[in-house]
Structures are given as C-alpha cells and as structure tokens.
Structure 1
C-alpha cells in the first residue's frame, strides 16, 4: 500500500545551511526558493534525498553533525519552528514526549515519534513511515541527535544515555557517534531509538514555559488536524489509483468516481495538496513496483501486468529510470 506525497516544512534548517545545500538542490528537483523562506513545504522524499546527496558529497556524518549542533547555525528548537519551541516549553520529559508523539505531523507528515518504558529503561523511538524512502541514514541520525541534544539541554544533563540504536547499516566510521553519545551504539536494529534511565520520564524541564506552551498549542492543533486530513486524502487517492493500475492508463474521472467526488472537486483537492495527478500516478506505480519486486515472490512479468504494463520491456525501462537498475538486478541486490 502506497503512502506518498508526505511533506515537511523547511523551517530554518535549510535556510541556516543554505550555502551547504544550494549546490545540490537541482539534483533532487528542488527550486532555489526553498532556501529563502522558512514556511516553504517540500516533499519529504526530496528533503531526505537532499540530505543524502549532500552527505555523500561533503561528509557522511552530515546529519549527525547538524543534529548535534556542530555546524554553525541556530539551536535545534529554532530549526524546528513552532513545534520545536513548544516541545522545549513542556512541563516535563513525559509531557514533551507526549507532545512530540501527537504533533510531529505538523513538522513532517511521515515522521513518527513513540516512547515506552521497558523495565528500568525509557525507550524513545523515531522512524519514517513513508515506504518509498529507502535511504534513511541522514534523517535518522539528524533526528536522534536533535532529540538527544534537546533532552540533554532541557534536563540540564542530569541523565546519561544507556544505548543508541539505528536501523540503518553501520557506517565505515562510528567515531563521532560514540564520542557524541558516550554509550554503546548499535546498527541494523529494528528501530532508531534513544534508551535512557526510566527515572528521566517525570523529570521537570528546566526550559519549561507553561504560558508559551499554552499559547502555541491551539495553532499547532489546528495544523495537526489539517495535516492529518491531508494524509487521509492522499492515502485514499493513492489507494484508488492502485486499484486502477491493472487497467494500464489511470483516469482522473475514474479515480474521482471511486472517491465519490466530481472530477473538478478532485482536481481542486489535488491542487490544495500541491500535487499533479499524473505525477501522483507515477509515484504510486513506482512505490508499488519497488514493494512488489522487493517483497513478493511474483515473477517480474506478473508484476509488470499488475502495474498496467503490457510488455515486460516497458516495465524494465521504467524501473531503470526510477532506480538505475533493472528489476532483476534490484531484486538480487535487495535479497543480498
């Protein structure tokens, strides 16, 4: 099932590091204006790709360095806009984590923050829920580093990490990870997680500001409802498109009919989401193709037919355009 077109606010992150990211905007299909305004919304997939491309060219630890504040720039709460300000204004670690779990969608629609107490430890987990994003190292390291630095700041460094887990493979060098976190760091785990003493959960925040927190909450709640509604609509449209893929050409009129909308209403809603119908069809088809090639036992010919390709060669050409690999090579590489 496809979950596409998630977006993220650039906030001050890209603006603060504009000189660093500017050379790579065109590579991932972003316009220069994303470096000019903090209220710009961009596709999460392109934001993530920008981090990965910049890191590949400049510094493999780029996300980690940004999250730890080792590059010149603003504090992490500033980089995350109103969401960041409100988080550090909460009354306690528990309140901060509950806030983050509920309102993360305001900053980025496919970012998920969860927490649980397991025995004597508090586990705080972060993940991207968009399955079309496969390269995730920079995002994960940036997110955990920001969370770590904010919690250390807000609790005046009273607690030490017990462990850090990352879902991505271990990089060639982990020196910065171990130096920064001062605890065991594991890779290829089931989730990205910071593990702290459970006693930390009810620690009051030294940055607590009840009046600011309450002032920011109504606006964030309004944004949360709107972003969740957008998520739901994008999901419904994507599912309708998936249903029509077998027939080859996916028609706007048929998708609108499935959603009990007029063609004009669907066009208006897509415009509100800043999505072109044909681009969405292509993204749904691509995500479905990657999922089927990776996880199903179907033959490549069967997959091509399910996606509306009448010839396997057409599917192979499209797949190579998406990934740089043939479906067969991609499946073999993934299985390794």
Structure 2
C-alpha cells in the first residue's frame, strides 16, 4: 500500500479551483477528507489512491491540452522550486537527480525513481507497477511533465526530450504536451524513462541561491510493517463516522479480503485497529486541545454528544469530562 505526503496532495488539489465544480464535492469524489487544507488536521500522509483519484478526475473534466497546462503550471511554479530548495548536491546533473530521487521516494512510496545507464545512454527512470486503468495514463503523463520540467530547470533549458519510454500502450495523450511533439516515443515498456546525454549528465550544474528550508525537510515514512502503513493511510478518515472495512478498502484501493488477510498475517483485526486509533485521537484532543467536548464529538464523526460520552465511557470507564479533569489535575 503506497502513501503520499499530505502536502503534495493538498498542492495538487488546488487545481480543482480551476474547474467549474464545488471543490468539496470533488474532494469527496476523490476520497480525500474535507479537512485536507486545515492546519489542525492530525495526519501527514494519505493513501496514493487519493492522489490517483484526484488526477483521474482532473483528467476526465479537462481536455488533454488543459490537463497538461494545469499540471505544468503547478510543477513549474510550485512543486519543482520547492523540491530544488531542498537540494544540497550540485557537483553534476547526476548528483542533483540522485538526490531528487531520494526526496521523491520520501514523499511517495508507490514508485521508484532513479538514474540508470543503459544502452550507452543515461536515463531518468520511473518504475511503477502498470495497470490498464485510464488513471494510470493520466498519472504517467503527470510524471512525464514533472520530469520534463525538472530536467529543463536543472540544465537551465539546455536539455531537450529526444527519447521517452512509456509504460502506457497509447501515446496520443502524451503528444498533447507540446514539448514532446518531436520526441521519439516508445510505448508498452516496463518502465517510464527519459534519455539524457552522457556529457550533460556528468557536467556540473548551477543551483541558484535558495532560502533555507531546514524546517520543511521531508522525513522518511516511518512504517516497517503493513499494519503501520495501514494506520498512516487510514488516519485521515477516522473522523468520517463509522468506517466500515468495505469503505476503507474502497478508499485504499485494496480488495476487502486482501486487506483482511494482510492484517491477519500480522495478528491484527480491522475493527480493533480502528477502535484503538479513534480512541487515541479522542484522548489526544481531550488532553492536548481546548476544544469543547461537543466539538471533539463532532470532529470525530459522532452524531451527538450523548453517543460520544457513552462510547468513551464504555472504553475508559469514565466520561470524557471526568477524563479531561483527571488529566489536567496531574
């Protein structure tokens, strides 16, 4: 199960503002929590399936030209500058790209990005499991546009796209991105990859002066088991009321039986995990915020305060107000 940094999904969800639709409706359709842009939301990651849904909705509601322009604008104006601000290695284009690959892997776990020398050429490779869904083609186009703009920026416009390998079987949508009109495209390949001349790959580059971003470095995703990854992925949805395993499987893009089997393999039961995580979040809100108990109940998806109090007392053998008073007296 792959994860994506919440800040990255929040960035690309801003593209919904360009569509003539209610943004919250589009977020719901993408299986993205409505509190995505709230500063007090207590999660850092979302399942990659949410980003896949977002990209597919953008693609389905725009023409290929419009989609390419939207993705290009956010990559060129925001995402790539933010990525380059974190770079420390500029001894060569390869050194900078290798560091970019590490940073990208820390932000999203669903694909591998790396440099590779093959067939007498250097390539920047995106390696991701292929599927025939239209969403995969849109996601691959997004990656092509991102890598294209990244290489142009790092080489100060000296690089040009001469050869591009695609996992998709149809190249038409990719030719809608005008910089690829004269590019040799290879379809149905095992990975997506762009060619880079060796002399350019090994030559030094100049990174313009950058502000310090020491407070925004991307931490690696700390999850060494399926249960740990599952908890990170499902945390954003805990406040949506009763989260059935069918709903969770739909959000995560995993078959119900597969989800159950993966959890059981590590000795975990879905309902127990959800109940434990909801309780942990409620306790954190009770102890570490000044939110009223009514607000906490609403935030965690309870229909009324009485239901919230009964559920909490059943688990903790005291009411939420008693627990808060006891905690604050210590």
Whether the 8 Å contact between 1:161 and 1:181 is mirrored in structure 2 is no
Whether the 8 Å contact between 1:15 and 1:36 is mirrored in structure 2 is no
Matched, 1:233 2:232: no
Whether the 8 Å contact between 2:31 and 2:50 is mirrored in structure 1 is yes
Tell me which residue corresponds to 2:27: 25
Residue 58 of structure 1 aligns to a residue whose secondary structure is coil
Residue 99 of structure 2 aligns to a residue whose secondary structure is helix
**Superposition deviation, residue 270 in structure 1:** 5.9
Q: Which piece of structure 1 moves more, 193-202 or 96-105? A: 96-105
Whether the 8 Å contact between 1:94 and 1:202 is mirrored in structure 2 is yes
Tell me which residue corresponds to 1:96: 96
Residue 117 of structure 1 aligns to a residue whose secondary structure is strand
Residue 150 of structure 2 aligns to a residue whose secondary structure is helix
Residue 86 of structure 2 aligns to a residue whose secondary structure is helix
Tell me which residue corresponds to 1:224: 220
**Superposition deviation, residue 130 in structure 1:** 8.8
Whether the 8 Å contact between 1:93 and 1:203 is mirrored in structure 2 is yes
- Which of 3, 6, 23 is the aligned partner of 1:6? 3
Spell out, residue by residue over 1:108-152, the C-alpha distance to the aligned partner (whole angstroms, 9 max, x if none): 221320211124411111133597977311211111211211211
**Superposition deviation, residue 196 in structure 1:** 1.4
Spell out, residue by residue over 1:198-244, the C-alpha distance to the aligned partner (whole angstroms, 9 max, x if none): 2222232322559848x479x43xx1152x5476833899xxxx9x9
**Superposition deviation, residue 169 in structure 1:** 2.4
Tell me which residue corresponds to 1:197: 197
**TM-score, scaled to structure 1:** 0.58
Residue 13 of structure 2 aligns to a residue whose secondary structure is helix
Whether the 8 Å contact between 2:80 and 2:150 is mirrored in structure 1 is no
Tell me which residue corresponds to 2:114: 114
Tell me which residue corresponds to 2:61: 57
Aligned residue pairs total 253
Map residues 173-322 of structure 1 onto 2, 5 A cutoff.
Answer: 174-177=174-177, 179-180=179-180, 182-207=182-207, 212=212, 215=214, 219-220=217-218, 223-226=219-222, 228-229=223-224, 233-234=228-229, 255=264, 259=266
Tell me which residue corresponds to 2:148: 148
Residue 144 of structure 1 aligns to a residue whose secondary structure is helix
Spell out, residue by residue over 1:233-280, the C-alpha distance to the aligned partner (whole angstroms, 9 max, x if none): 33899xxxx9x959xx9599x83xx53679999558866999xxxxxx
Residue 116 of structure 1 aligns to a residue whose secondary structure is strand
CA 1:74–1:164 in structure 2 vs 1: closer, same or farther (change >3 Å)?
Answer: closer
Gaps of 5+ in 1: 275-336
Residue 122 of structure 1 aligns to a residue whose secondary structure is strand
Gaps of 5+ in 2: 233-253, 282-330
Spell out, residue by residue over 1:300-323, the C-alpha distance to the aligned partner (whole angstroms, 9 max, x if none): xxxxxxxxxxxxxxxxxxxxxxxx
Tell me which residue corresponds to 2:72: 68
Question: CA–CA distance in 2 between the matches of 1:152 and 1:212?
Answer: 23
CA 1:110–1:90 in structure 2 vs 1: closer, same or farther (change >3 Å)?
Answer: same
Residue 102 of structure 1 aligns to a residue whose secondary structure is helix
CA 1:14–1:45 in structure 2 vs 1: closer, same or farther (change >3 Å)?
Answer: same
